[in-house]
Chain A
Amino acid sequence: MASSKLAEDLRGIVGKANVLDAGVGLHLYGYDAYLEERRPDAVVFVHSTDEVAGVVRACHERGVPFVARGGGTNLSGGTIPVKGGVVIETIRMNKILEIDRANLRARVQPGMFNLEFGNALAPLGYQYLPDPASQKAATLGGNVGENSGGPHCLKYGVTTNHVFGLTVVLPDGEVAHLGGKAPDAPGYDLTGTFVGGEGTLGICTEIVARIVRLPEGVKTLLAIYDRIEDGGETVSAIVAAGMVPATLEMMDQLVIQAVEQSMKCGLPLDCATVLIIEVDGLADDLEQQAQTIADLCRKHGAREVRVAENDAERAALWAGRRGAFGAVARITPSYLVCDGTVPRTALPTVLRKVAEVSRKYDLMIPNVFHAGDGNLHPLILFDWRNAEQKVRVMKAGMEILELCVQMGGTISGEHGVGIEKMDAMRLVFSEADIRAQLKVKRAFDRRDLSNPGKMFPAPREATDAA
C-alpha cells in the first residue's frame, strides 16, 4: 500500500472494523467471476455517500487507485484491482431509500441485490425490469456498472433504460446528482454515460430507478427441438411475425443435461435445444399469443411445445435457466463465457460456427443465452489447472468474438469489457473511436484513478494517446 497513513485515514473515515488491509481476507477481494486475480492493498466497507466520498478523496489526494465492488459476479474482470489500491465494497449500502409510486420511481442504494429489490416491490404490485440471471448475487450498483441485461430485456430494455438518476462520487471525491425523478434534465446525459462505465467514471451511491406495475398476465412456454438451428430459426420467425415476447431464451443439450443433474426441472435430456419463451402484458390476448408462438415453433421443427400450467411450473423452468451457469460448473471446474452479440437472424449460422470452433480447439462449448437479443453466451469449459488448455480457451474465445463482429455484431452484449476484452475493442472500434471514449474518461477522471487498467487497449503509438 502506498502508505499505512492511507489505511489510518481510511479507518478514520469508515471505522476500524470496516478496513481490511492485511491477511488472507484481502485475497477474497482480488478476483471476481472472471479468471484473473490481483490482491488489493486494502478493502473498505462503506455505508454512505459521505463515506464513499471520504474514501475517494483520500485516495485522490495520494494518487491511489480505487475500484467499486458490488457482488463481484461480473464476468470480465471488472472488479479486479489490476493496479492495486483500494477496493470499495458497497454491499452494505443495501437499503431501499424510497418507493415513490406516484412518480413510478424508487431510490435505492447500490449494494442491494437485484432480486432483493424485486422481492420488495412485488408485494406492492410493482417490479424493476432488468433481471440478470445472476440477480440473487448481483447488486444494483454492479448492474449500473455493467449496464446489465437479463432474460426480460428483449421486450423491456437493459439497465440504462430503467435508470433515471444517480448520485455519484466523482473520481476526485466530489458528489454530484445526475438526472433524477424528473425526466430530460438539461445538459449532457451523464446518467446514460455513467451507466455501463464499469466503475471507471466514479462510484454511484444512489440510484433512481423506474418501477412499473407487474403485468396483468404471463404465459411461459417451453419449445423442444431436435436440431439447434431450428431453435435459432424460430427466434427470427417469432419476431418476423410481429411479436415481441418478454423473453426468448435458449439452452442447448449440454446445458440441459447439467441443469437436470443439479436441479431436476423436467427438461428432456435427449433434445438438441430448448427455447423458453414468455409473453406478458394485458391478459386478454396472452392465450392467443401463446397459441401463435406454439404454432410457429412447431412449424419450425419443434418436436414438442409445453405451456407452464401454473406458477410452480413456470418457476421450475426459470430456476433451470437462472441456475444454468452454476450447473455447468459441474462438468468442469472453470468456464469462459463469451458474450458476443449478433443480429438475431445470424443466430443459426453463428451457432453452427461456434460448434466448429468447439471441434477445432477440442473444447466443450455449451450454449445458454438470450436468443431474442442475439446475445450469445457460449461457455468454453476447461480446467484452470491445465495451462495448455487455457491457451486454447483464450484463442477459441477470441475466435468466437471475431465471428460475432463479422456477422455485424459486437464483442459484448452485457458482461462488459473489463480486462477480458480490452484487446477485442479493436475488433469493433477504430483508433479514433477509442480516442473519443478516452476523452470521456479524462473528463470524469483526469488522474486515471477510478478502476484504472480496464476497458481500453494499450494505445497503438505514443501519439495515439494524445
Chain B
Amino acid sequence: MPHELDDLPQRLSGIMGGEQVREGTAASGFSVDGAEPSLVVHPGSQEEVEAAVVACGKAGAVVVPWGGGTAIGLGNPPSRLDVVVCLDRLARIVEFDEANLNVSAEAGVRLADLQAVLAGKHEFLPLDPPQADRVTVGGLVATNSSGPSRLHYGTARDWVLGLRVVLPYGERIRCGGKVVKNVSGYDMNKLFIGSLGTLGIVTEATFKLLPVPAMRVTIVGLFRELAQAAAVVACTLESQLLPEALEALDSQALGAVASAIGLTDPSGYGLAIAVAGSRETVERQVRDFTRLLAESQATATTTLGGAQGAAAWQAIGDVQARMGVTSEERVVVKIAVPIGKTLELLSSAERLARHNGWRGAVTAHAGSGIVRAGYLVGGATLESLRDGLRALRGQAESAEGSLVVETAPAALKCSLDAWGKPPEAAEVMRRLKVEFDPRGLVSPGRFLAGI
C-alpha cells in the first residue's frame, strides 16, 4: 500500500466498523484482473459509501466498486487499485411502489432476490442478464447487462427511472426520479448506465416494472443448417408477431443446455423462442411459430411451459458463464452488430472455436444484434487467441459493430484491448471522465480510450 494510505484503514474503520475493513490476506478473493487491492471495505449504507469515498479521495486511494462480482472481469485491467468497495451490504429494497409499477433498490440487492419480491405482487423487471442469481442491481446498471428478452423489452436504459450515485470524491447525487416520464434536466441515468464505475459508484436504482404476463411458453426448434434457423428469424422480424426472445444456439451451446431443455442427443443449431401474454395471444403465437419451424425444416420441435421454460432460459443465458471455472481458462466475448448480421457473426464465432479445436458455446439474441461466445482456452496459446479474436472483432467492426471482451486471462486483455477501436466521440468521453474524476481515482484504466 502506498505510504500515504497508512492511516486509511483506521479512517475507514471509523466510518463502518473495523470488521467491515479487510486488509492483506483477508482482502484476497477480490482481485481485479490480477490486481490485488490493499483493502476491501463493506459499507453498510449509502452514507457510509459516501464517507468511504471521501476518505479514499483525501488519501488519494484508487477505488473500484464491486457488486456481485459476476462481471468484474469486464474492462481492461485497472491501471491501479487500492480499495475495493464491496456493495454486498447495501441490500435493502428501499421502496416497492407496486401500484405505480416501480421499485427502488440498493446496489447490492441481487436481481433474483428483487424479482422474487416483485413476483409476490405479480410484477417483474424485464431484464434477464446472465447469472441473474448472482448479478446485483448496481452491477447490472454499471455493465448495462442484458439477456435474450431484450428483443421485446429493451435494456437497462429503457427501465431505469432514477439512480443515486456517489461521485468520485464523495458527493452524492440523484439522477432522474420515480416517474415514468422525466425530462427535467439532462438524462443523467444514461450517462451512468454502462459506465462501469468510471464516473462514480451507483448506490441505488429505481426501475420501472411490468405486470407478469398471464402465460409464457417456450418453443425450441432444431435445424441441420444455420440458414434454416436464419429463415425463421427473418420471417419473424418481418411479421407482426411479438416474441419475447429469439435465441439461436450453435451445436456446442445446444449440447450444453440439452438436458435443461429436455432434449436427448441434439445436433445442429437450436432456435429458442419465448412468447408471453394472454392465453389467446400465446396460443396463437405457439401455433404460428410451430408452423413456421416446420416449414423451415426443423428436425425437431419442443414446447416448454412454466418452470421448465424458465429453467431452459436460465441454462441458455448462463451457458458461457458456466464453462470452466476461472478467467484463466475461459474467454467470453460479446459481439454487437446490426440485427440483420447477427447470425453471420454467430457463424464466424462458431467457426473460430471449430478451427482451433476449442470447446465453447455461441449464442445469439437473433433479433437484437447480440452474439455471445464463450471459449474454453486452457491449452491455447496467447497468439492464437489474440489473432482469432482480432479477426472476429475486425468482422464486427466492419459491420459497424463491436466486440467486447467480457472475460479473459489478464494477459490476453493486455494484448487485445477489451473494447476495441475507440469511438469517434472518444474525446468527449475523456472530457466527461476528467470532469467527474480529474484525479483518476475511480476505476482508472478500465474503460475504453484509456479512461
Contact = CB atoms under 8 A, between A and B. Distances in A.
A240 B173 contact: no
Interface in A230-282: 236, 239-240, 242-244, 281-282
Interface stretch (A30-38, A154-162, A299-307, A392-400): A154-162
B241 to A, nearest CB: 7
B195 interface: yes
A179 B447 CA distance: 17
A97 interface: no
Nearest to B422: A187
Contacts of B404: 184, 186
Nearest to A153: B181
B448 A181 contact: no
Given A190-B429, A239-B101, A240-B99, A181 B419 contact: no
Interface stretch (B249-257, B279-287, B303-311, B349-357): B279-287
Interface in B96-151: 97, 99-102, 122, 144, 146
Contacts of B239: 213
A246 B154 CA distance: 17
A442 B234 CA distance: 44
B425 A178 contact: yes
Contact of B185 (A158, A183, A215, A429): A429
A455 B185 contact: yes
A453 interface: no
A187 B426 CA distance: 8
Interface stretch (B35-43, B337-345, B407-415): B337-345
Nearest to B337: A182
Contacts of A182: 336-338, 369, 396, 399-402
Interface stretch (B13-21, B79-87, B261-269, B430-438): B430-438
B242 interface: yes
Chain A CB within 10 Å, residue with most, of B185, B396, B449: B185
A446 B210 CA distance: 41
Interface stretch (A18-26, A88-96, A432-440): A432-440
B181 A436 contact: no
B432 A411 contact: no
Contacts of B191: 188-189, 192-193, 440
Contact of A188 (B155, B180, B240, B429): B429
Contacts of A185: 336, 402, 423
Contact of B402 (A103, A184, A193): A184
Contacts of B427: 174
A147 B188 CA distance: 13
A437 B194 CA distance: 18
Contact of B425 (A187, A196, A455): A187
A320 interface: no
A436 B189 CA distance: 12
A340 to B, nearest CB: 9
B179 A374 contact: yes
Given A186-B423, A242-B211, A437 B185 contact: yes
Contacts of B369: 103, 182-183
Interface stretch (A51-59, A79-87, A112-120, A415-423): A415-423
Contact of B183 (A236, A408, A416): A416
Contacts of B368: 183
Contact of B284 (A160, A282, A413, A455): A282
B370 A183 contact: yes
Contacts of A456: 185
A388 interface: no
A187 B240 contact: no
B96 to A, nearest CB: 13
Contacts of B435: 439-440, 442-443
Interface string A336-347: 000001111100
Contacts of B325: none
B174 A242 contact: no
A189 B428 CA distance: 11
Contacts of B157: 160-161, 189, 192
Interface residues of B, number: 89
B280 to A, nearest CB: 4
Contact of A187 (B179, B340, B429): B429
Nearest to A168: B425
A141 interface: no
A147 to B, nearest CB: 5
A157 B158 CA distance: 8
B332 interface: no
A53 to B, nearest CB: 13
B180 A105 contact: no
Interface in B179-217: 179-191, 193-195, 199, 210-212, 214
A192 B190 contact: yes
B171 interface: yes
B190 to A, nearest CB: 3
B438 to A, nearest CB: 10
B167 interface: yes
B277 interface: yes
Nearest to B423: A187
B169 to A, nearest CB: 11
A104 to B, nearest CB: 6
A288 B278 contact: yes
A160 B175 contact: no
Contacts of B27: none
A348 interface: no
Nearest to A217: B240
Contacts of B173: 430, 432-433, 436
Interface in A407-466: 408-417, 421, 425, 428-430, 432-437, 439-444, 446, 455-456
Contact of B100 (A170, A213, A344): A344
Interface in A372-392: 373-375
Given A193-B191, A417-B185, A440 B432 contact: yes
B127 to A, nearest CB: 14
A417 to B, nearest CB: 6
Contact of A373 (B178, B180, B419, B436): B180
B181 A370 contact: yes
A215 to B, nearest CB: 7
A370 B177 CA distance: 18
A315 interface: no
Given A239-B101, A442-B435, A414 B181 contact: yes
Contacts of B122: 242
B76 to A, nearest CB: 11
A101 B179 contact: no
B428 A190 contact: yes
A181 B368 CA distance: 11
Contacts of B279: 285
B238 interface: yes
A429 B174 contact: yes
A105 B338 contact: yes
Interface string A116-158: 0000000000000000000000000000001101000110011
A101 B157 CA distance: 24
24 contacts: A100-B340, A105-B338, A154-B180, A186-B404, A187-B422, A187-B423, A189-B190, A192-B190, A193-B187, A195-B190, A244-B210, A281-B242, A284-B284, A289-B278, A342-B179, A408-B177, A408-B178, A408-B179, A411-B184, A416-B183, A429-B174, A433-B173, A436-B167, A455-B186
Closest 6 interchain pairs by CB? Answer: A192-B190, A242-B211, A182-B401, A439-B435, A102-B340, A413-B181
